Amino acid sequence: MKILHTSDWHLGVSADQSPRHDEHDRFLDWLIELIIERDVDVLLHGGDTFHYVQPSARCLSQYYNFLSRCARETKLRKIVVTGGNHDSASRLDAPSPILDSLGVHVVGTMSGNKDTWHRTICPITTPDGHVECVAVAVPYIHESKLGVISTGRTPRQIRDAVVEKFSELYLELAEMARKLYPGVPIVATGHLTCYPSGVGHVEGDFATPLHMYNLGSLPPEVFSLGYNYVGLGHIHRMFDIPGPNAWYPGSPVPTDIIEARTQRYVLMVDVDPERPELQAAVEKVEVPEWRSVFELEGGLDEIVTGLGALEWNAELPAYVYVDLQVDQPLHAGMDALNEALDTFSAIQRPRIIGYKETLTSHHDAINQSDLARVRLAELTPSQVFERLYKVRHEADPTPDIMAAFESLLSHDNVTP
Ligand SMILES: [Mn+2]
């Protein structure tokens, strides 16, 4: 049985005031083609369908058109949609009586009241009504709804309580699913932050998550090992969490420049109804790029030449971020750059959506061009502090000041 796992579409998002609607249209068309081509049985969506709690008419129409096309053009047995922290849970839930009839199971929100938890259990049946798999549709849920009290508690106590409550939630839901539909594979969703305990199985640079790990993400142990697969949403980069076989597909259409730097994915998940004891096999499917995003850095002449030489294969006109290195502020910089784009036809003309000027001749205390090239995620908190100190005071922080900052860091004063 094939389950296609996606999350974090963020319909309606704009990258630097530049809409992504055209890419989302193409993504949803592509998704339908993929579902048909690969004979997908279930679409499992891990939250953040919309970017804003009050989606525009255009976004709503993208969503409903997609669901209706799925019902008419594909052989999907079920679409499972869960709410993310960006979605309005009640807005997502409101049309569920109609969506039910299209085979769309929506769970926008859930409460700590266990009597209502049956709403999350969604059996996947064959045309003759035989249950082959169960999807446990867990939306974004704030820990306070699970009974975590933060008033008067230390960060450590809060974190322990959060871990305990989420572990209970996933354990009880697995048991509930197993009791209702014994002997079939169970998959679950979740819209939360979880990182693997090691880095061995994770693809690519993992600096960002490891920094954040300390800031209150959940450990892999929260997921009951009773699930064959856990389809997560919230983190916008694809990676897996070995052990519980939990995966993030990441956002399929980049929502900012950082995401535009890496390949985007959806995940094809294979569960065997005859072998419920096996973990699901997962295949990464690359999402095509419909719009290239370029980053140009250098002097005015260099950038003008770079703009004229831009080439791409993607269908839509490129977006460009420019970091202009100047001796002094260049007020007419944008005019010269826009002129350089006149060589493109109106339809293909790239659009500069990010423009900044970096002064190269001042501020000897800090090399600003170096600073611009370093991603915040690649710096430790102490390095950020040190750099800011240099900018503010035009001198290195003394060992005493660094020691004071380090001592602040070592206090466990961050909340999950
Ligand atoms: Mn998101």
The Å distance, Cα 287 to ligand 1 centre, comes to 17
Gap from CA of 237 to ligand 1 centroid (Å): 10
Q: What single-letter amino acid sits at 102?
A: L
Q: How far is the CA of 32 from the centre of ligand 1 (A)?
A: 21
Among 3-7, 236-240, 393-397, the range scoring the smallest mean pLDDT is 393-397
Domain identity same for 295 and 341: yes
Can you read off the two tokens belonging to residue 285?
A: 């499917």
Q: Is 110 left (phi over 0), alpha (psi -120 to 50) or beta?
A: beta
pLDDT band of 410, cuts 50, 70, 90? low
Averaged pLDDT, 343-360? 90
Q: pTM for the complete prediction?
A: 0.83
Convert 298-316 to b/e letters by CB count within 10 Å (16 or more is b): eebeebbebbeebeeeeeb
- Pick from 263, 286, 309: which residue ends a domain? 286
Distance, CA 84 to ligand 1 centroid (Å)? 7
Q: What is the pLDDT of residues 237-267, one digit of tens each?
A: 999 998 999 999 999 999 999 999 999 999 9
Q: How far is the CA of 69 from the centre of ligand 1 (A)?
A: 24
How are beta strands 316-326 and 2-6 bridged, if at all?
unpaired
List pLDDT tens digits, range 177-207.
999 999 999 999 999 999 887 543 344 444 3
Q: How far is the CA of 131 from the centre of ligand 1 (A)?
A: 31
Reduce the DSSP state of residue 341 to 3 states and report it.
helix
Same domain, 214 and 355: no
Residue 259 lies in a domain: yes
195 and 90 within one domain:
yes
Q: Which of 8-22, 143-157, 321-335, 396-410 has the highest mean pLDDT?
A: 8-22
167 shares a domain with 82? yes
> What would the two tokens of residue 228 be?
């064959």
Cα(132) to centroid(ligand 1), Å: 30
The rounded Å distance from CA 236 to ligand 1 centre is: 6
Query: What percentage of the chain has pLDDT greater than the value 90?
Result: 66
**Domain presence at residue 415:** no
Compute the residue count for the chain.
416
* Same domain? 260 vs 298: no
User: Which tens digits make up the pLDDT trace of 297-314?
Assistant: 999 999 999 999 999 999
Question: What is the model's pLDDT at position 53?
Answer: 95
In the reported structure, the alpha carbon of residue 314 is separated from the centroid of ligand 1 by a whole-number distance in angstroms of 24
Domain hosting residue 201, numbered range: 2-286
**According to the model, what pLDDT value does residue 287 have?**
98
Asked if residue 175 and residue 127 are part of one domain, the reply reads yes
Question: Is 43 part of any domain?
Answer: yes
| Segment 42-88, tens digit of pLDDT | 999 999 999 999 999 999 999 999 999 999 999 999 999 999 999 99
Tell how far the Cα of 232 is from the centroid of ligand 1, in angstroms.
11
Ligand 1: centre distance to CA 226 (Å):
26
Residue 1: is its pLDDT beyond 70? Answer: yes
- The average pLDDT across 316-327 equals 93
- What is the 251 CA–ligand 1 centroid distance (Å)? 7
CATH at residue 13: 3.60.21.10
Q: Is 69 helix (H, G, I), strand (E, B) or coil?
A: helix
Average pLDDT, the chain: 88
Listed residues 247, 267, 286: the one ending a domain? 286
C-alpha pair distances (Å), 2 with each of 77, 187, 288, 374: 10, 12, 21, 41
Question: Region 398-409: what's the mean pLDDT?
Answer: 81
The CA 3 to ligand 1 mean position distance, Å, reads 20
Tell the residue number behind the tokens 């579902």, with chain if given: 35
The amino acid at 276: P
Domain end: 286, 320, 344, which one? 286
Cα separations in angstroms, 204 against 47, 76, 86, 292, 379: 24, 33, 27, 21, 17
Å from CA of 222 to ligand 1 middle? 20
Q: What is the mean pLDDT of residues 110-123?
A: 94
325 CA from centroid of ligand 1 (Å): 33
Ligand 1 centroid to Cα of residue 135, in Å, is 21
Q: Which residue has the higher pLDDT, 340 or 38?
A: 38
Q: Within a domain: residue 398?
A: no
CB-proximal residues (5 Å) to ion ligand 1: 8, 48
Instruction: Say yes or no: 268 and 325 in one domain.
Output: no
Cα(108) to centroid(ligand 1), Å: 14
- Rounded to whole angstroms, what are the CA distances from 30 to 6, 10, 73, 237, 324? 13, 16, 13, 20, 37
Closest CA to 191 of 337, 15, 41, 9: 9
Q: Does residue 236 share a domain with residue 346?
A: no
Give the pLDDT of residue 411.
Answer: 56
Residue 161 included in any domain: yes
**If you average pLDDT over residues 118-123, what whole number do you get?**
97
**CA 392 to ligand 1 center in whole angstroms:** 34
- Within-domain flag for 149: yes
Dist. CA 7 → ligand 1 center (Å): 8
CA 413 distance to own-chain centroid: 26
Residues 379, 383, 387, 389: is their CA dihedral positive or negative? positive
Specify whether 184 is located in the same domain as 303.
no
Q: Kindly give the distance from the C-alpha atom of residue 234 to the centroid of ligand 1, in angstroms, as a whole number.
A: 4
Q: Does any domain span residue 229?
A: yes
Q: Do both 45 and 115 map to the same domain?
A: yes
Number of folded domains in the chain?
2
266 and 252 in a common domain: yes
Q: How far is the CA of 233 from the centre of ligand 1 (A)?
A: 7
User: Cα separation of 115 and 121, whole Å?
Assistant: 12
What confidence score (pLDDT) does residue 155 get? 82
For residues 297 and 291, what is the distance between their CA atoms, to the nearest angstrom?
A: 20
321 Cα–ligand 1 center, Å: 23
pLDDT-derived band of residue 373, with 50, 70 and 90 as boundaries?
low
Please indicate, yes or no, if residue 108 is contained in any of the structural domains.
yes
Is residue 85 domain-shared with residue 221, that is, in the same domain? yes
**308 CA to centre of ligand 1 in angstroms:** 35
- CA–centroid distance, 16 to ligand 1, in Å, is 17
Taking the centre of ligand 1 as the mean of its atom positions, its distance from the CA of residue 340, in whole angstroms, is 36
